[in-house]
Structure formats: C-alpha cells, structure tokens
Structure 1
C-alpha cells in the first residue's frame, strides 16, 4: 500500500489549465494515473488524442468537450468517458470547472499532425 499525502501532489500549469497529479507511476508507483483538472471559464485546451480511455468526473462547474465533432456538456456530478484515440478538445464553460480524471499510466497524447506522442507530466 502507498499513501500519497496532499503535500506530495505535483502541480502542472499549462495555458489550458492546472493539473494536479494525485497518483501516477512516478508518484505512488501505480499502473493508473489520477489527477485533478482546473480550467477557467472559456479556456480551451488543445485539440488532441490520447491513446487510452480517460474517465472525467466533474466536481464543480461545467466542462464542454468536443469529441470527434460531437459537443458534450457535463455539469457537477456528471462523468464523461472519452474513448481511446478520439479527437478531443476540453473547454471550461460558465464558471470553468474542476474535475477528477483517471487513465492508464503512460497514456500518450498527440496533437493533429504531430509526429511525436508524449506522456503528459500529470500522467507520468
């Protein structure tokens, strides 16, 4: 068993939001990644794909996701399952949002036309 204290979380800030790693291979030696996402209103992350399924649960606010051309809006308490390799863009609606997200450790992200897939630091 591994205990990860709140003071041991890892924070990564990008133009699209703030990701706080709660557990990952480099933080708790786990095969799953778990992180909190905070996005301000009307701020959109990049268009990208992930090579693994992700599960997003909205804690506060409103999340808007464009998933392969279909817009979904999730509010507090809603859960969105994003299938592997689906093109996505996540945007903060209304007051923005806070969500908890999980995915397999080592999941790789790629932007359209990008040659290289990367493991985002909050999943590593």
Structure 2
C-alpha cells in the first residue's frame, strides 16, 4: 500500500487551470493517475485528444464539454466518461469548476494541429 500525504501532492499550473496530482506513477501508483482540476470562471481549454479514456467527476461549478462536435453540460455530482481518441474541449461556467479526474498513467495528449503526443505532468 502507498499512502500519499496531502503535503506530497504535486501542483501543476497552466494558463487555464490548476491540477493537483493525488496519485500517479511518481507518487506511488503504478497504473493509474488521479488529480483534481480547478478551472477559473469562463476559461476555455484547448481542443485536444487523449489516447486513453478519462473519467471526470465534477465537485463544484459547471463545465461545457465539447466532444466530437456535441456539447454536454456537467455540474456538481455529474460524472463524464470521455472516450479515447475523441476531440474534446472543456469550458468553465460562470463559477468555474472543480473536478476529480482519473486516467491510466501512460496517457498521452495532443492537439489536432500539433500531433506530438505528450504525457501531461499531472499524470506522470
């Protein structure tokens, strides 16, 4: 068993959000990553893809999730399962949003125009 203390969690900040890694390969988990995402009001993330399924559970606020041209709205208590290889973009509502997200630890993300796959630091 691995116990990750709050003080050991890792914080990654982008222009759009703050991700706090709760478990990942570098924090004692071998196969899965778990992180909290906090997004400021009205922020729109980039259009991107992942090569793995992600599961998002929204704790506070609201987000519009664009998924392959369809838009869904998620709020507190809702869980969205985002399939692999699907174009996505999340936009925060007027209060922003907080979500807990999980994905396999070997996840890679990329933007449709760039094409180079990277593992985001909050997943590693």
CA distance in 2, matches of 1:90, 1:30: 28
Instruction: Report the counterpart of residue 23 of structure 1 in structure 2.
Output: 23
Provide TM-score, normalisation by structure 2.
0.97
Which structure 1 segments of 5+ residues have no match? none
Instruction: Report the counterpart of residue 41 of structure 2 in structure 1.
Output: 41
**3-state SS of 2:26 partner:** coil
Q: Deviations over 1:49-85 (max 9, x none)?
A: 0000000000011011111111110010000000001
Q: CA deviation at 1:94?
A: 2.1
CA distance in 2, matches of 1:72, 1:114: 26
Instruction: Report the counterpart of residue 69 of structure 2 in structure 1.
Output: 69
Which structure 2 segments of 5+ residues have no match? none
Provide TM-score, normalisation by structure 1.
0.97
Instruction: Report the counterpart of residue 112 of structure 1 in structure 2.
Output: 112
CA distance in 2, matches of 1:37, 1:109: 16
CA distance in 2, matches of 1:15, 1:61: 19
Instruction: Report the counterpart of residue 10 of structure 1 in structure 2.
Output: 10
How many aligned positions are there?
124
Structure 1: 4+ residue segments shifted above 3 A: none
Q: Deviations over 1:72-112 (max 9, x none)?
A: 10010000000001000111112000000000001000001
